[in-house]
């Protein structure tokens, strides 16, 4: 990269910030921070609690020196990225508190005496940004663990090593499920969130209640703290993280995402309504009883016709000149708009997908990512799209062979997901449908970080569900996801 290009990059955030401030009224209630650059442009966080208060206990070192921000960093979309981790590793010679044996390393018994040993010990974290979530086989499970192939020689029935991406600690108002396997979604017969028509009734505590317990579990687990968080600290952490809204605000190719009627960026997202059951694929809107609406994403409709420049004024007596090609920025905007339309309407035949409705195979991306403007799932329903199937296993990941106690059937998986909580054979491989905002800030994707970029995610779906997307459609969908 030449110096000019590098300078242009360096000056980008300030220019973007002023463009953003110019484009939208900054209210005291939603203070922006500084845009953070990523491969596709820049993302921005706004906070309803008045800026990022680093005195909040979210940033306080506990137990082993980690804070919540060790794994939920604004620079990395309130998650972790390999880029950010490699920088931290180099700057601190592997001593940043994120590098702890307990769950940062491939195995808690790894040797870490030299820097080279450390680089090996933390290779999963450094290359995929994944944390080792250790969970023992559930009591009374319908299945048993027959075989463990762990390249790091640690996993056993007492503790499976499940390598998972930190879910972002922002945009939490769009959650219906907490954690990849819902282990912090608390069942509660008297809770406010009940699945319509479920028999027996299935109800859950409020997300706020879930997050309070999640915060205290995180401190005891990841931060190895002997002491519980005080109730006041728990409350302060959850208030802080619940006030964060983060989204891509500009695109390298398409420019500022609020231009020309675009409704990207965190301000519009902060103003987006969500409640549990807002747009369920099966039962529609739990409050208004409106039918399910597949047009979940409505950010970039205004850009659909930008691919061709406006026709020039006709000159009397002259043959009209051919239409001028649209500017490259407008073409990039139009691609994002086409991607949004594909997301809402491109049919997908959903087959062999546990958790997704039987007999409702005709789906779109928005059937599962159905919370308007956010792409999370409107209710607590976990789905197995196959990410942890043995056929997708890479050699750096442990593989588990499970046997159904009743039928003797065996299967192999890199992560049983929800089944590690419920003990049910039918729940193997089920994960929550994650929110799709601020994706550019936090590669890689899926619970195990298997897909390095958004085009790879789209190609995964194309192959998995034989969608038959052409190259242009793959590009358009990826460009759209990158602008969220
Ligand atoms: C060592 C890294 C690490 C630390 C430290 C950490 N987390 Fe996490 N966090 C994770 C991982 C990994 C997940 C996803 C794990 C899973 O679902 O199995 C997660 C999930 C979450 C989620 C769930 C979001 C969702 O969409 O369901 C929230 C909220 C969260 N963390 C908040 C916190 C808070 C608050 C703290 C500090 C008290 C904290 N985390 C400390 C790694 C970390
Ligand atoms: C049948 C339900 C279903 C359909 C249809 C579906 N998704 Fe997903 N999506 C999921 C689930 C479940 C996950 C989490 C999978 C995992 O990590 O194991 C996910 C994860 C993702 C992620 C990764 C997010 C992250 O934080 O890592 C992206 C991006 C995504 N989907 C985009 C799409 C697009 C684009 C389409 C349409 C081509 C689509 N999805 C269709 C259920 C679905």
Query: What spacing in Å lies between the alpha carbon of 412 and ligand 1's midpoint?
Result: 27
The residues near 174 (Cβ < 8 Å, ≥ 6 apart) are: 272, 274, 371, 374, 376, 435, 437
Q: Mean pLDDT across the stretch 93-108?
A: 97
- The tens digit of pLDDT for each residue in 330-368 reads 999 999 999 999 999 999 999 889 999 765 578 999 999
Q: Is 179 in the pocket of ligand 1 (CB under 6 A)?
A: yes
CB 34 within 8 A of CB 21: no
- The answer to whether residue 71 scores a pLDDT higher than 50 is yes
> Looking at the predicted structure, is the pLDDT value of residue 23 above 70?
no
Say how many Å lie between the CA of residue 468 and the centre of ligand 1. Answer: 36
Is residue 399's pLDDT more than 50? yes
Instruction: Return the sign of the alpha-carbon dihedral for residues 195, 200, 201, 206.
Output: negative
Q: For residue 29, what pLDDT is reported?
A: 55
130 lines ligand 2 (CB under 6 A): no
Mean per-residue pLDDT for 244-268? 97
Task: From 222, 232, 442, give the residue whose CB has the most ligand 1 atoms within 8 Å, as the site to mutate.
Answer: 222
Q: Which two tokens stand for residue 75?
A: 């620079």
pLDDT, residue 358, reads: 63
Q: Is 365 in the pocket of ligand 2 (CB under 6 A)?
A: yes
Query: What element of type H or E holds 143?
Result: strand 143-149
Mean pLDDT of 182-203: 95
> Residue 13: what pLDDT?
45
Extract the tokens encoding 419.
């089944």
Q: Break the chain down into helix, strand, coil percent, rounded to 5.
A: 30, 15, 55
For residue 359, what are the CA distances in angstroms to 49, 295, 346, 429, 465? 45, 21, 18, 20, 16
Please give the torsion angle defined by the CA atoms of residues 354, 355, 356 and 359, in that order, rounded to the nearest 10 degrees. 70
Question: Domain limits of the chain?
Answer: 3-81+165-310+325-387+431-482
Residue 128, ligand 2, Cβ within 6 A? no
pLDDT, tens digit, for every residue of 420-472? Answer: 999 999 999 999 999 999 999 999 999 999 999 999 999 999 999 999 999 99
- Cβ–ligand 1 distance for 207 under 6 Å, the answer no
451 Cβ inside 6 Å of ligand 2? no
Beta strands in 337-427 (DSSP E): 348-349, 362-363, 399-404, 410-413
Regarding the beta carbon of 481 and ligand 2, being less than 6 Å apart is answered yes
Quick check: CB of 244 below 6 Å from ligand 1? no
Between the CA of 221 and the centroid of ligand 2 the distance, in Å, is 28
Answer yes or no: is the C-beta of 348 below 6 A from any ligand 2 atom. yes
The confidence band for 8, taking pLDDT boundaries of 50, 70 and 90, is very low
Angle at 291 between CA 484 and CA 380, to 5 degrees: 60
Cα 124 to chain centroid distance, Å, stands at: 18
Average model confidence (pLDDT) across the chain? 91
pLDDT of 322 > 80? The answer is no
CA 134 to chain centre: 21
Q: Distance between CA atoms of 47 and 373, rounded to whole angstroms?
A: 18
Nearest residue by C-alpha to atom 43 in ligand 1: 71
∠ Cα 408 411 415 (to 5°)? 130
- Ligand 2 atom nearest the C-alpha of 462 is 38
CB 257 within 8 A of CB 51: no
* pLDDT tens digits, one per residue of 107-157: 999 999 999 999 999 999 999 999 999 999 999 999 999 999 999 999 999
Q: Which residue has the higher pLDDT, 30 or 338?
A: 338
Ligand having the closest approach to the CA of 80: 1
Tokens of 38: 């990523």
Distances in whole angstroms, Cα of residue 195 to Cα of each of 55, 153, 189, 199, 395: 39, 41, 11, 9, 39
SS3 state of residue 365 = helix
Q: Are 467 and 461 in contact (CB under 8 A)?
A: yes
At residue 9, does pLDDT exceed 90? no
Using the structure block, give the residue that is written with the tokens 């807002």: 278
Entry pTM: 0.92
Ligand 1 pocket check for 174: Cβ under 6 Å = no
Is the distance from the beta carbon of residue 180 to the nearest atom of ligand 1 less than 6 Å?
yes
Q: Whose CA is nearest to atom 10 of ligand 2?
A: 433
- Say if CB 122 and CB 89 are below 8 A apart: yes
Of 297, 329, 330, 334, nearest to 484 (Cα)? 297
- Residue 393 has what DSSP assignment? -
- Is the Cβ atom of 170 under 6 angstroms away from ligand 1? no
- Please state, in angstroms and rounded to a whole number, the distance separating the CA atoms of residues 457 and 455: 5
Q: What is the whole-number distance in angstroms between the Cα of residue 302 and the centre of ligand 2?
A: 25
Helix, strand or coil, per DSSP, at residue 275: coil
Ligand 1 centre to CA of 153 (Å) is 25
Q: Band of the pLDDT at 290, cuts 50, 70, 90? A: very high
What angle, 0 to 180 degrees and rounded to 10, lies between the N-to-C axes of helices 231-242 and 207-221? 110
> How many angstroms separate the CA atoms of 195 and 380, rounded?
8
Count CB neighbours of 307 within 10 A.
16
Mean pLDDT of 290-294: 97
Q: Is the pLDDT of residue 17 over 50?
A: no
| pLDDT on residue 324 | 73
Ligand 2 atom at minimum distance from 165 CA = 27
Distance 289 CA to ligand 2 centre (A): 26
* Encoded tokens for 278: 């807002």
Radius of gyration of the chain (CA): 23
Give yes or no for residue 356 CB within 6 A of ligand 2. Answer: yes
pLDDT at 33 over 70: yes
Q: pLDDT, tens digit, for every residue of 50-70? A: 789 999 999 999 989 999 999
Does 30 score more than 80 pLDDT? no
């Amino acid at each position: 990269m030449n110096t000019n290009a590098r300078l242009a990059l360096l000056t980008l955030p300030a220019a973007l910030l002023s463009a953003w401030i110019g484009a939208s009224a900054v209210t005291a209630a939603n203070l922006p921070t500084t845009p953070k650059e990523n491969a596709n442009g820049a993302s921005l966080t706004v906070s309803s609690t008045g800026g990022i208060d680093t005195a909040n206990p979210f940033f306080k070192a506990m137990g082993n020196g980690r804070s919540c921000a060790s794994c939920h960093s604004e620079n990395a979309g309130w998650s972790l990225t390999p880029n950010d981790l490699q920088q931290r590793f180099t700057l601190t010679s592997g001593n940043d508190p994120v590098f702890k044996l307990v769950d940062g390393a491939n195995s808690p018994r790894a040797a870490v005496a030299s820097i080279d040993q450390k680089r090996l010990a933390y290779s999963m974290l450094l290359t995929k940004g994944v944390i080792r979530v250790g969970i023992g086989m559930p009591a009374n499970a319908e299945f048993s663990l027959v075989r463990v192939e762990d390249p790091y020689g640690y996993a056993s029935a007492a503790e499976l090593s499940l390598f998972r991406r930190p879910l972002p600690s922002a945009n939490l108002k769009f959650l219906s499920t907490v954690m990849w396997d819902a282990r912090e979604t608390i069942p509660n017969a008297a809770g406010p969130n009940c699945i319509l028509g479920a028999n027996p009734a299935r109800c859950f505590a409020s997300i706020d209640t879930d997050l309070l317990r999640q915060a205290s579990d995180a401190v005891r687990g990841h931060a190895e703290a002997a002491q519980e968080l005080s109730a006041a600290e728990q409350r302060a952490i959850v208030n802080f993280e619940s006030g964060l809204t983060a989204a891509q605000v500009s695109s390298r190719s398409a420019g500022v995402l609020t231009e020309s009627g675009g409704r990207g960026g965190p301000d519009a997202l902060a103003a987006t309504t969500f409640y549990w059951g807002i747009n369920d694929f099966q039962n529609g809107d739990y409050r208004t009883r409106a039918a399910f609406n597949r047009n979940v994403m409505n950010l970039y409709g205004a850009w659909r016709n930008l691919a061709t420049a406006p026709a020039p004024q006709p000159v009397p007596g002259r043959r009209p000149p051919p239409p001028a090609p649209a500017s490259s920025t407008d073409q990039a905007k139009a691609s994002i708009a086409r991607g949004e339309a594909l997301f809402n309407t491109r049919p997908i035949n959903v087959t062999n997908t546990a958790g997704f409705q039987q007999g409702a195979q005709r789906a779109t991306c928005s059937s599962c990512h159905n919370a308007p403007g956010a792409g999370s799932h409107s209710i607590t329903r976990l789905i197995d799209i196959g990410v942890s199937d043995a056929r997708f296993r890479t050699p750096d990941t442990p593989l588990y062979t499970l046997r159904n106690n009743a039928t003797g059937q065996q299967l192999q998986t890199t992560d049983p997901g929800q089944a590690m909580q419920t003990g049910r054979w039918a729940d193997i491989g089920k994960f929550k449908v994650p929110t799709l905002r601020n994706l550019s800030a936090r590669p890689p994707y899926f619970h195990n970080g298997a897909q390095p970029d958004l085009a790879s995610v789209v190609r995964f779906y194309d192959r998995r569900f034989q969608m038959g997307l052409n190259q242009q459609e793959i590009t358009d969908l990826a460009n759209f996801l990158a602008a969220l």
